[in-house]
Structure 1
Amino acid sequence: MEDNVFVGLDIGTTKIACIISELDSSGELKIVGVGVSPSDGLRKGVVVNIDKTVRSIQKAVEEAELMAGVDVDSVWVGIAGDHIRAINSKGVVAISRDDNEITELDVVRAIDAAKAVSIPMDREILHVIPQEFIVDDQKGIKDPIGMCGVRLETQVHIITGAVTSAQNIFKSVDKAGLKVIDLVLEPLASCYSVLENDEKELGVALLDMGGGTTDIAIYFDESIRHTAVVGLGGKNVTSDIAIGIRTPVDRAEEIKKQYGCAYTPLVKGDEFISVPGVGGREQREVSKAVLASIIEPRMEEILSLALREIKRTDYSDMLGAGVVLTGGGSLMEGVQELAEKVFEMPVKLGLPDGFGGLTEAAKSPLHSTGIGLCMYGKENFKTRKGKKSLSGEDNFKKILDRMKTWVKEFF
């Protein structure tokens, strides 16, 4: 695969999406292929059936390859699930050079010092993202290389995930005949495609509303400050509808997409829809108001849990740009209005932006993560270049090596 081609693989609970992009002569990202296949090998963002997941990955990739006329061999893969945890950490080092000039090596040492936190054996570090650097007592520095100082301090955001969940994703992608360039946290990827720079500076919370999970990322002063995953999503709404109006789950999903509304004041009481019964029972008429009264409490619960997660941070009062909703769940009518009521701040729908090519096919909240993975790939390609793509075994070996170094460090 050529160096100017970036492929994002969004492995979600309800769908697997493959986005193929390439850089044009002016350096702009162009989407050239989009493939989507239904996914039922995952639960809450975690692989529970490898064979089903492999088949879905292959189908999505084949569809995208056909559209793009490109053969895919390596991908940037999204990871989510309620096993994701994040912490902020600090590291301090003395400047090594005699003339006190900060070099790239000092920055790496400072980040390594910040990474030296105790993490349970069953977890692995997915990302270490520098938030800011402090040279002597000068705060708020984004890039300290070339400055002079005696002491370099850094604040980093460390995102960890369950080793087994990461392994199962590696294994699924590997079995589908592809190499994983890197695992990327899905809300982090979505930020790349959906958020504007001024929003990141002012303070913004991104909610990626997926089928199995709702992912949260908080930015302030151009740095990511908090990430979290709420283990509820669109599938919970679908099952509520299926139970509430007694209809099969696949029909409940269709009804949700076609007629669902998350905010009851928007619904006219005299509109009815015909609902197929379970096990061959005859159709019934159900009013849209009844449907909305089933959907609204669950959506309100999901948004309230997200709000609780935001309130736990130090940045809940600093979200000058409010909340941005993206992901498939944000497409439902009334979600924006309900979110404004729950969060009591401005809410907007986030569409992926900043790319050319197949904009019609790709410009939907459904593809925020897939396109974000391509953008993340473009941005971080230089740091990954020269490193071998990871396979499941390589990943396991990498984790074992890290565990050995911890044991040496701490005992």
Structure 2
Amino acid sequence: MTTGIDDKIVVGLDIGSTKVCAVAGRILRHKDHETLEVLGVGETFLADGVAKGSVVNVNNTVEAIRRAVREASNQSNLNIHLVNVSFSGSHVTSVKSSGSITRSSSGDEVQMEDIDHLLSDMYRTTIPADKEIIHALPMDFVVDGETNVQQPVGRNGVKLGADFQLIIAQANAARNVRKCISRNNLTQDTMMLSALASGLAVLTDEEKYAGVALVDIGGGTTEMAIYHRNVLRHVAVFPWAGNSVTSDIQSGCKVLPQQAEQLKRKFGNANPGEYKINEVVAVPGLSNRKPKDVLLKNVAVIIEDRLREIAALVQAEITRSGYDGKLLGGIVLTGGSALIPGVEQIFQRVTGMEEVRVGYPEHLEPNPRADLVGDPAYATAVGLVWAGYKTIDNRISFISDPGRSVYNEEPAPMRPAYSPPAPTATREREREREREKAPEKEPESSGLLAWLKKAVRPIRGSETDTY
């Protein structure tokens, strides 16, 4: 029995390497649980706009977003303006960092505002100019020297700190995503790494507490997010995914890219033993040429080899993160390539984990539109809708930098924060006074000593300055 309907409607916009998908939905509150009612779905296949998760052709991506949002808008009878948008890319890295603040009063308990203050400071962490912090997510807090504090709110203390997971990306890639949003007259509410959004749709709270590795095998990238004790502990992105499988089939079977994709979707299997040695499928040839026979066992061997490589990368990253042997929830596979039969067995053999399952979007209110987004390929889009109602970490109030939610096509020129620009005449008088006060410069030396003087500079920054 439904006991309530949330008036708030959320739209998730997944910009992937092979498709753009928009999903509009709202929460239905039942007596003992909540479900997501899917109100509209729009999908546009994207052939040339996003590569390896990054927008490379803004015009094509803008048009794909427009068509997907229009379709979702027509189905749901909504005027869509605000969206939660996905973000990905092989350039995304995860960096551990720490930060702290000193509170004004030691007698009062730590409040949510103090955590917001600390979180805002982390988004200002010094990083290279061509990088941007997409997420700053806390792991363990520190209150007055007491470490491993899971929930600091309500504790007394002057100094509040935390170890953070900083998810960093190329600033230009993030700018391109915002550009595509603004050119469609949309406003970005939250930008979220695809794997984190997928986790909201397919992971259970028990899995995140016990320890689980979510592996989202998309079109251009494979993303992994490790949770332990309900906290995100590690993130990694690999530049090999479903498109890599398609490319291998194209090369190995000597077929066109579209034909390779069809072979993967219709006949793909990660277990070559499922096909007999002489089972073939006829692939149409070029104009005025006869069809080409392709052995299905060969297709399966190619798929198995590539998925084994991806599974090996995942296992190596789990070991590098320090959580090997600690993930009682095992591995949850999602993304379009998680639908390939036999993928679970591949990951079980390579990683040695018995607990491997394919993650489907859960808690969807039954209706025809929910059926459209009920498989792993739509986990990110559905998770972006869930992001309007629940968070990655309930200890914080925001997971993306509020100051970077809007893209301005004509940004204002940068000015120093410490003083307003002086009028031209005033600046000229200041320069004259400085020239009068300045001591006479020594003749500039040459050779090795001069080179050293120019090369050696004071080093400033934080532990996140280098990678």
- TM-score, with length taken from structure 2: 0.79
Q: 1:108 to 1:118 in 2, by over 3 A?
A: same
Matched, 1:173 2:177: no
Aligned partners of 1:278, 1:376: CA distance in 2, in Å?
Answer: 47
**Which residue of the other structure, out of 14, 20, 28, is the alignment partner of 1:10?**
14
Match of 1:296 in 2: 304
Name the amino acid aligned to 1:286.
V
User: What is the percentage of aligned positions where both structures have the same residue?
Assistant: 33
Which structure has the larger Rg over C-alpha atoms? Answer: 2
Match of 1:330 in 2: 338
CA shift, 1:117, in A, is: 4.0
Comparing 41-50 and 279-288, the one that deviates more: 279-288
Q: 1:223 to 1:14 in 2, by over 3 A?
A: same
8 Å Cα contact 1:91-1:154 kept in structure 2: yes
**SS of aligned partner of 2:379:** helix
**Which residue of the other structure, out of 228, 234, 237, is the alignment partner of 1:226?**
234
**SS of aligned partner of 2:408:** helix
CA shift, 1:18, in A, is: 0.6
**Which residue of the other structure, out of 20, 38, 48, is the alignment partner of 2:24?**
20
Match of 1:213 in 2: 221
CA shift, 1:125, in A, is: 0.9
Aligned partners of 1:230, 1:368: CA distance in 2, in Å?
Answer: 18
CA shift, 1:394, in A, is: 7.8
Name the amino acid aligned to 2:359.
G
8 Å Cα contact 1:180-1:389 kept in structure 2: no
8 Å Cα contact 1:246-1:277 kept in structure 2: no
8 Å Cα contact 1:75-1:178 kept in structure 2: yes
Comparing 279-288 and 47-56, the one that deviates more: 279-288
Matched, 1:356 2:371: no
Deviations 1:104-128 (A, max 9, x none): 3432344355556431110111111
Name the amino acid aligned to 2:408.
E
Unpaired runs of at least 5, structure 2: 1-5, 419-459, 463-467
Q: 1:234 to 1:25 in 2, by over 3 A?
A: closer
Q: 1:388 to 1:138 in 2, by over 3 A?
A: closer
Matched, 1:82 2:90: yes
8 Å Cα contact 2:139-2:233 kept in structure 1: yes
CA shift, 1:100, in A, is: 4.5
Trace 1:305-344 onto structure 2 (pairs within 5 A). Answer: 305-344=313-352
Name the amino acid aligned to 1:4.
K
Aligned partners of 1:286, 1:201: CA distance in 2, in Å?
Answer: 46
CA shift, 1:309, in A, is: 2.2
Match of 1:119 in 2: 127
**SS of aligned partner of 1:127:** strand
Match of 1:367 in 2: 378
Name the amino acid aligned to 1:8.
G
Aligned partners of 2:7, 2:89: CA distance in 1, in Å?
Answer: 30
- TM-score, with length taken from structure 1: 0.90
Q: 1:92 to 1:291 in 2, by over 3 A?
A: same
Aligned partners of 1:388, 1:137: CA distance in 2, in Å?
Answer: 31
Aligned partners of 2:410, 2:190: CA distance in 1, in Å?
Answer: 10
Deviations 1:354-400 (A, max 9, x none): 3325432221101100011111122369759xx799332189679x6
CA shift, 1:160, in A, is: 1.2
Match of 1:242 in 2: 250
Deviations 1:197-226 (A, max 9, x none): 111011110110001100110101100011
Match of 2:45 in 1: 38
8 Å Cα contact 2:179-2:409 kept in structure 1: no
Match of 2:72 in 1: 64
Match of 1:379 in 2: 390
Aligned partners of 1:389, 1:81: CA distance in 2, in Å?
Answer: 18
More helix per residue = 1
Aligned partners of 1:206, 1:280: CA distance in 2, in Å?
Answer: 47
8 Å Cα contact 1:247-1:276 kept in structure 2: no
Name the amino acid aligned to 2:406.
S
CA shift, 1:72, in A, is: 0.8
Aligned partners of 1:99, 1:382: CA distance in 2, in Å?
Answer: 24
Match of 1:347 in 2: 356
Unpaired runs of at least 5, structure 1: none
8 Å Cα contact 2:23-2:41 kept in structure 1: yes
Match of 1:55 in 2: 63
Match of 1:271 in 2: 279
Deviations 1:11-66 (A, max 9, x none): 00111111111234667432111111101211111111111111111111122112
Comparing 339-348 and 110-119, the one that deviates more: 110-119
Deviations 1:78-103 (A, max 9, x none): 00011111112222334431415222
8 Å Cα contact 2:116-2:397 kept in structure 1: no
CA shift, 1:312, in A, is: 1.5
Aligned partners of 2:411, 2:385: CA distance in 1, in Å?
Answer: 25
Comparing 275-284 and 210-219, the one that deviates more: 275-284
Name the amino acid aligned to 1:362.
V
**SS of aligned partner of 1:77:** strand
**SS of aligned partner of 1:269:** coil
8 Å Cα contact 2:12-2:24 kept in structure 1: yes
Name the amino acid aligned to 2:407.
G
Root mean square deviation of aligned Cα: 2.9
Matched, 1:390 2:405: yes
Q: 1:70 to 1:112 in 2, by over 3 A?
A: closer
Aligned partners of 1:161, 1:217: CA distance in 2, in Å?
Answer: 16
Name the amino acid aligned to 2:43.
V
CA shift, 1:269, in A, is: 2.8
Name the amino acid aligned to 1:355.
L
Comparing 117-126 and 262-271, the one that deviates more: 262-271
8 Å Cα contact 1:20-1:68 kept in structure 2: yes
Aligned partners of 1:159, 1:388: CA distance in 2, in Å?
Answer: 16
Name the amino acid aligned to 2:361.
P
8 Å Cα contact 2:106-2:158 kept in structure 1: no
Name the amino acid aligned to 1:255.
L
8 Å Cα contact 2:87-2:193 kept in structure 1: yes
